[in-house]
Amino acid sequence: MSDWDLIHRFSNDYLTDSEDVAYLQEASTEQGIQAISRTLGSSIAAIARAVAARSIIEVGTGVGVTTMRLAEATPDAHITSIDSEADHHVTLRELLPQVGLETSSLRLITERAQDVLGKMNENSYDLVVFDVPAGDVEACFGDAVALCRPGGSILITRALAGGAIADAASREPRVTAMRAVVKMVAQDDRVTHTLLPMAEGLLWAQVHPDNTV
C-alpha cells in the first residue's frame, strides 16, 4: 500500500458519520451505488457550512448520502436534488422516514440535469454539487454558473478520476472526459477555481462576485 493510500485510509478512519449518513451509506452499498468517500463527503459538507449555503442544487442524488451530509451541514437550506435514475429517488423516498431529512426542505427532480438546469432560476443558488460522470458535468457547467449567485460555489466530485488524471499516458474515456472538465473550468473567466487532491478529488469553482451572466 502506498503512502498516499495510507493517508486516505487514515483520513477516512479519522472522520465519523452520523447515524443517518451511515444508514444511507449502507443502503447505497446494497443498491450497488458507489457513494463518495467519507473524506470527500465531509469536505463538501464543510464547504457548504462555511459558505452558509441556503439554496443548494445537487446533481446526482444516488440514494441521498451526500444529500444527508448537506442537510446536516446546512439545516436551514433548501436542497434541490436531481437524478436521471428513477429507482434512486424511489429508494430515497422509501428511506426518508428512517432519517432526519426534512421533506419540506428537499425537492427531488427525476430528469437529466441537462434537461432541467436551463429551466431553473438564474442567480438563485449558493452551491451546486456535481456527482455525475464528467461528460454530464461538461454539458451542465455553463448552466451551473448561470444558476449561482455571484460568489456562489460549484463543487465537482471525483475530479482526480481515481488518480488516473495524473497519468499522462492514460486514455481511458472517463479520464479524458475529466481532463476536459478540468481544462474547461480553468479557462472559464467567470470563475476562480482550485483542485483539492483529497480522496477522489474535488474541483471547487467560485463564481466571481461581479458575475452577472
Domain limits of the chain? 3-207
Ranges of H-type helices in the chain:
3-14, 19-30, 38-50, 65-73, 86-95, 113-116, 134-147, 173-187
Q: Considering only CA atoms, which of 97, 95, 56 is closest in space to residue 75?
A: 56
199 pLDDT more than 90? no
Residue 88: count of CB within 10 angstroms of its CB: 21
pLDDT digits (tens, 9 = 90+) for 141-195: 999 999 999 999 999 999 998 888 888 888 888 899 999 999 999 999 999 999 9
78 pLDDT more than 90? yes
pLDDT digits (tens, 9 = 90+) for 96-144: 999 988 889 999 999 999 999 999 999 999 999 999 999 999 999 999 9
Q: What is the pLDDT of residue 59?
A: 98
Q: CATH says 3-207 is which class?
A: alpha beta
202 and 196 Cβ atoms separated by less than 8 Å: yes
CA distances from 106 to 16, 75, 77, 100, 164 (A): 24, 11, 9, 12, 35
Cα gap 39→200, rounded to integer Å: 9
67 pLDDT more than 90? yes
152's grid cell: 456562489
Which band of pLDDT confidence, cut at 50, 70 and 90, is reported for residue 30? very high
pTM for the full model? 0.95
Quote the radius of gyration of the chain (alpha carbons, Å): 16
